[in-house]
Structure 1
């Protein structure tokens, strides 16, 4: 099969800026239109789980670089799951990066002696990696012999475009810093044939981009010759302080290099993609303000009906009058003939606001290890799936924790001095996650612990969320 038979679809118009995202978008569109992806079918912003991934994995396993490797670093993408299974079946150790490097660096999975094919297949899945993987940090002395990456598209010259978040490049740089790999370590990618492009503009790629040495598809193996130069290490000037705060590993590496006397200067924004998104949102916000102001100016003036169009008159909101009607309905307070208000009737005043009485709190639970992007509605939906309905929620999600307050949990026959049944709820929230995704790991579990009722904290009424 040829590389990409519809390559003319990837050629940008003269007026269109040539970017990596242009290539990603058109590959995603082409694969979706032609149904070339397996589950998950939503391939946008993902490494596609292309049809033929198993055949590509088997072809990769025939490479001499694979047969000679003892330790292989493989991405946790779904399209690389067959490669992980074949590696374990071949009695090889694998390293899988923890998604987004949130809670660590790698999970180290070693083959289990006497394991069946079904057990090996499960060990290669996301859940199997969580159960069997042992965390490895930057101080590990492990040696990696082969690196396997997923891609959105690649060129025959070895240029690779991922999904755009830069984690594969960052993981490669960290492994260089650890001494786990060097510039001669072979990098392989598996893709569908349609993801192979004859040429990608070299100006799209920077010094941090990791190229590939071998491209494997379900039908062909492409050995890049000559090989492109690989990154030299961590490029701190391309990382921001915000990204460091999200990754404890980067903070540790930064402190380590600063102790060695290296001066580290960070970038204000993580990537060009984020910069464009920031500018787009800022410009959009400015346009909305201008549009709202213009709309407000128009609403203040209306052209006089039947008069000169140049004469405008101000528009004032109508005053609402609340009238009281008689209980018998015979003498309404509004005269039916002329619509005038009767003098003997007074406007009905609104009743004063009476705050709702607070629910009696019998006990509270503290939930911690909450991600910063989680919202209270996400928590409420996740709790609902577990059948847990707190009376109130004290939300501190931006600080990584919250409180669930419960009341009236005693049975009707229970005595007042008997303890509230807390254990059943705590047990129900074991291995609890919010916004569970395919990349979730055991470190994403929410920590649940009983605590005393919280009284001096802002409480969110769950009925209003």
Structure 2
């Protein structure tokens, strides 16, 4: 029942974005993390947060809509961790301005077509402590409940980071999305969350920033019972659990 309600909400938001012509390439946005106009404005709201400004290491999801944020963070001298293409044998690529070969690379550092040329793959034990996590969103509410595509990538990554000791409950988790992706807390109540679901502490949209009033705890550890063949294939670090460092 919860899964059906979540999917109904995703479908409604995807439809609303398409019907309002509030989404960019790739289209249709159904089944994807939407890439919407105004994402750069939403990024600016995140960049003004004190937690972001003092952060040294920020993990950012790889979707197109976060490209402006990734670029701004690299240009500000932050270390940015971003997942590679599905199927890679490592969990993150490390982006930093010192790795950029020239000024143009720096100015486009958050674009996947650019950073794949020079970003450094990280072994699991090389992953540094993360100060802020930015997760992808299809639907979000002011109570901190968010829905991704339903694949569980963000939750598994968070689980691995907590197993490594690189993240924990005190690490702020943020997201950015279009205003049409924001719904009321009564439509996306905490009761719909499962034990592995990762809530967010703030939501940035083009029109402003929402500090979430959440009570749901952040999970810890990897729920191996939820890791199927598709996740193992897409997140290479999961392919050999016996080889993981815990």
After TM superposition, the score normalised by the length of structure 2 is 0.90
The alpha-carbon deviation at position 152 of structure 1 amounts to: 0.5
Q: Could you say which structure has the greater relative contact order, defined with CA pairs below 8 angstroms and 6 or more residues apart?
A: 2
Asked if structure 2 preserves the Cα contact closer than 8 Å seen for 1:144 and 1:180, the reply is: yes
Query: Structure 1 stretches of 5 or more lacking a match?
Result: 1-16, 261-465
The partner residue of 2:219 within 227, 231, 247 is 231
> 2:169 matched to which residue of 1?
183
Asked if structure 1 preserves the Cα contact closer than 8 Å seen for 2:91 and 2:235, the reply is: no
The partner residue of 1:67 within 47, 50, 53 is 53
What is the SS of the residue equivalent to 1:100? coil
Asked if structure 2 preserves the Cα contact closer than 8 Å seen for 1:140 and 1:178, the reply is: no
Cα distance between partner residues in 2 of 1:100 and 1:203: 31
> 1:288 matched to which residue of 2?
none
Alignment of 1:413-452 (within 5 A): none
The partner residue of 2:121 within 114, 125, 135 is 135
The alignment status of 1:125 with 2:111, answered yes or no, reads: yes
Asked if structure 2 preserves the Cα contact closer than 8 Å seen for 1:100 and 1:167, the reply is: no
What is the SS of the residue equivalent to 1:108? strand
The partner residue of 1:213 within 201, 208, 223 is 201
The alpha-carbon deviation at position 251 of structure 1 amounts to: 3.4
The alpha-carbon deviation at position 139 of structure 1 amounts to: 1.6
What is the SS of the residue equivalent to 1:147? strand
> 1:442 matched to which residue of 2?
none
The alignment status of 1:170 with 2:156, answered yes or no, reads: yes
> 1:47 matched to which residue of 2?
33
Asked if structure 1 preserves the Cα contact closer than 8 Å seen for 2:87 and 2:233, the reply is: no
Cα distance between partner residues in 1 of 2:235 and 2:77: 32
RMSD in angstroms over aligned alpha carbons?
2.3
Q: Which has the higher helix share?
A: 2
Runs ≥4 in structure 1, deviation > 6 angstroms? none
For the structure 1 residues 256 and 130, does the alpha-carbon distance in structure 2 shift closer, same or farther, using more than 3 Å as the test?
closer
How many correspondences in the alignment? 243
Asked if structure 1 preserves the Cα contact closer than 8 Å seen for 2:90 and 2:124, the reply is: no
For the structure 1 residues 254 and 223, does the alpha-carbon distance in structure 2 shift closer, same or farther, using more than 3 Å as the test?
farther
After TM superposition, the score normalised by the length of structure 1 is 0.49
Deviations 1:371-396 (A, max 9, x none): xxxxxxxxxxxxxxxxxxxxxxxxxx
Deviations 1:106-138 (A, max 9, x none): 00011138953x432322111112112111121
The partner residue of 1:79 within 41, 45, 65 is 65
For the structure 1 residues 108 and 246, does the alpha-carbon distance in structure 2 shift closer, same or farther, using more than 3 Å as the test?
closer
The alignment status of 1:202 with 2:190, answered yes or no, reads: yes
Asked if structure 2 preserves the Cα contact closer than 8 Å seen for 1:108 and 1:133, the reply is: yes
Deviations 1:37-70 (A, max 9, x none): 1222321111111110010111111000110101
